[in-house]
A and B are shown apart, each in its own frame.
Chain A
Amino acid sequence: MNKGTAERVAPPPLVAAGRQRRLIAGDRVFEVIAYGAAALILLIAIVFVIALFIPALPAITTFGLGFFISRTWDPVRTQFGALPAIYGTLVTSAIALVIAFPIGLGAALFLAEDSRLRFLRGPLSFAIELLAGIPSVVVGLWAFYILTPLMRDSVDPFLSHTLGFLPLFQGSASGYGFLTAGVVLAIMVLPIMIALSRDVIRAVPRALREASLALGATNAETIWSVILPYARVGITGAVLLSLGRALGETIAVTMVIGNRPQITGSLFASGYTLPSVIANEFTEAVGNVYLGALFYLGVVLVLITIAVNVMARLLVWRFTSEATAG
């Protein structure tokens, strides 16, 4: 804002006086439009939150905060609790990040750094953009028909054979469940993870990189002790943005998670996520409390998303202040 005022006071000398007045008038109009747009965004956000809360009220008054810890989801007896859906949402998103983080970071380093296989960068970038452009319902369709049989017949038996001593990989595998949903989400968040990390790594000052190499560090040492530490703020941001995408993803997850509201240790088991419950049940949700419970789930999802965003801000803020202090 201050900058704008300064420019208005001291215009470029080459502009004629009449023209300048017109420009100032234009500035005013622009200012009004910009303020209006900003106010509109705020208004939309407020209206949205209110519109989400009001239909949720019957369920909020009925179940209160117990909604967050109840495991029951019984439309017949109108008893509702969000815990299995919250659990499913967090677990599938966590699986997605565990898979997508190393792959995404590796691909981003490859794209941003010098390498002998530089000629592969073009095709890889293209593939990532292609992946980012696939609508989620198409990913879901592919997962439903191709990924689930693959998980059931190959991946799940392999995991249970090699890592079966962990409770995570025990139990009978149907191909649907937390793990499959997590893999699908990983595929969907990879493009964001790669693109953002790549941009962050590219933004590392050339001088730092060259200084490190000049001091005799190898490429790997440079990446490990100069580039990654420098870029970690941005990479954290990329991870959290990916998390945001994973939390809200609906249709592809609904198609493969098995839609069963339960909490179990096994990743082969079926589960449920917040968006899936809403997408599945809103059409036939009759009665204020039932429909209210779905809106309440929406409120929970928004709260989780806000929490992730706040966490992202805090982390970024801490890292940046550390960086300036150091």
Chain B
Amino acid sequence: MVTGSSRRKRTKMRRAPLGAAAGAVLLLAACGGTPTGTNPSTGGAGMPTPPAAQLTGAGATFPQPFYDAARFAYNKKFSQVTVNYQGVGSGGGINQLTKKIVDFGASDVPLKASEAAAMGGSDKVVQIASTLGTVSMAYNLDGVADGQLKLTPATIAGIFLGKITKWNDAALAADNSGVSLPNQDIRVVHRSDGSGTTYIFTDYLSNVSADWKAKTGGPGKSISWPVGDGAQGNAGVATRVTQTPGAIGYVELAYVLQTKMKQAALKNHDGTFVIPSAAGATAAANAFAGTTPSNFSIVNAPGKNSAPISGYSWIILYKDQGDKTKGTALVDFLYWLTTAEGQQYAVNLHYAALPTTMASYDLTTLKTVTSGGSALLSVS
């Protein structure tokens, strides 16, 4: 039975969510209001001043910490522009850009022909390199200190093909004289989720080992691994290697440095053993001056200091921007991202700075972005 008082209570309860909704709307308005009404900031020398806009991007998780730091800094500099970024994975980013849900997509690997075709053809999209990363081989071996283990392209491929299964294998011992390698099983750890890191690593293996290429079919974000266990994310691989005696895995440099794992010295194209570093990634990138989205691989780079397992991360946008204001703000932001001012946020987070050749490629590319036939980026 419904009594009078309980009915009153019900009406009150019905009203409550309305009130909450109204509050939420107010709150949203307060948060989302881009044009703050105060004077929009103007850029410094050579930096274009963007119009007020709200930009959304989605994609790769590998560069997300960089994008997050950069977009906050950009919003501080130009309060009229807010940039949102969702790290949903490269595939998700490409998907959302194809459906025009976001203004830009981010991917660790440039678009494949079929993906570009879904966006209207490769002449309808532009891709710029946003940052540069390198991959380390992290290991867990008692009695072998950080940087003491030396790995060559042949031994890395041998381990990940399942041909080298013990740490005291003759092939490993040959490169590591003076290091006492134990008679212990090698436990291979790889990524279980699809990832740009895996792409760079398998690109490297396909490059240095014909065996690997024949067996796995070449590079991929997810592949069929000949050996080893999968763990989720860079953090997952890092933790599994740290936890498991005898483990080896490939991990993004930043994670190795943050978690203070042991990483191996890698023999590069020139035959020198290098410890992967941001500087090494830049050196590798510099060795390939003509890098473009269609010719993007920089693994196994020549040069004495080149870190062998390196790669770019990419941002994708439409060449013809429907909304002129938004389009202008987008290219202004992306241009800023590739200049030294934007790149400093990458360097702080152990990504490598873009080489100048790549930054100028990005600038040339961004200048081709138009709206209604007129170019959007105006920098000298």
Contact = CB atoms under 8 A, between A and B. Distances in A.
Interface in A267-283: 270, 276, 280-283
Interface string B86-114: 00111110100000000000000000101
Most central of B2, B89, B187, B230 by chain A CB within 10 Å = B230
Contacts of A172: 185
A90 to B, nearest CB: 20
Nearest to B185: A172
Given A286-B90, A286-B115, A280 B243 contact: no
Interface in B38-80: 61
B222 A148 contact: no
A148 B243 contact: yes
21 contacts: A72-B224, A74-B224, A75-B220, A76-B220, A76-B224, A152-B244, A175-B244, A176-B240, A254-B232, A255-B232, A276-B192, A280-B194, A280-B230, A281-B193, A282-B91, A283-B61, A283-B91, A283-B92, A283-B193, A285-B91, A285-B222
A284 interface: yes
Q: Select the residue from B88, B115, B222, B239 with max chain A CB neighbours within 10 A.
A: B222
Q: How large is the interface on B (under 10, 10 to 19, 20 to 34, 35 or more residues)?
A: 35 or more
B192 A280 contact: yes
A75 B222 contact: yes
Contacts, number: 94
Given A75-B221, A259-B231, A285-B194, A174 B89 contact: no
A76 B91 contact: no
A275 to B, nearest CB: 13
B229 A281 contact: no
B224 A73 contact: yes
A77 interface: yes
Given A144-B239, A259-B231, A76 B217 contact: yes
A211 B23 CA distance: 64
A149 interface: yes
A209 interface: no
A283 B216 CA distance: 21
Given A270-B229, A284-B89, A284-B90, 13 more contacts: A75-B194, A75-B222, A76-B216, A76-B218, A145-B239, A148-B243, A149-B243, A176-B240, A255-B232, A281-B193, A283-B88, A284-B193, A284-B194
B225 A260 contact: yes
A287 interface: yes
The 4 lowest CB-CB distance pairs between A and B, nearest first, are: A284-B194, A283-B89, A259-B230, A259-B192
A286 B94 contact: yes
A243 B171 CA distance: 48
B223 interface: yes
A76 B223 contact: yes
Contacts of B112: 286
Interface in A191-205: none
Contacts of B234: none
B217 to A, nearest CB: 4
A190 B167 CA distance: 41
Given A75-B220, A76-B218, A286-B112, A174 B195 contact: no
B224 A75 contact: yes
A258 interface: yes
Most central of A72, A149, A176 by chain B CB within 10 Å: A176
Contacts of A152: 244
B109 to A, nearest CB: 9
B229 A174 contact: yes
Interface residues of A, number: 33
A259 B194 contact: no
B355 interface: no
Interface string A115-135: 000000000000000000000
B228 interface: yes
Contacts of B230: 258-260, 270, 280
Given A75-B222, A284-B89, A258 B232 contact: no
Nearest to A19: B1
Interface in B213-269: 216-225, 228-232, 236, 239-240, 243-244
Given A74-B223, A144-B239, A286 B91 contact: yes
Interface string A136-158: 00000000110011001000000
Contacts of A287: 114
Contacts of A73: 224
Contacts of B232: 254-255, 259, 280
Interface in A285-299: 285-287, 291
Nearest to A260: B229
A280 B114 CA distance: 23
Contact of B195 (A77, A261, A282, A284): A284
B217 A284 contact: no
Contacts of A149: 243
Given A76-B216, A77-B217, A172-B185, A284 B224 contact: no
A74 B229 contact: no
A174 B244 contact: yes
Contacts of B228: 260
Contacts of B89: 282-284
Nearest to A287: B114
A2 B219 CA distance: 66
A234 to B, nearest CB: 35
A276 B229 CA distance: 13
B194 A281 contact: yes
Nearest to A152: B244
Interface string A20-59: 0000001000000000000000000000000000000000
Interface string A163-194: 00000000010111000000000000000000
Contacts of B91: 282-286, 291
A172 B243 CA distance: 16
Nearest to B221: A284
A254 B231 CA distance: 8
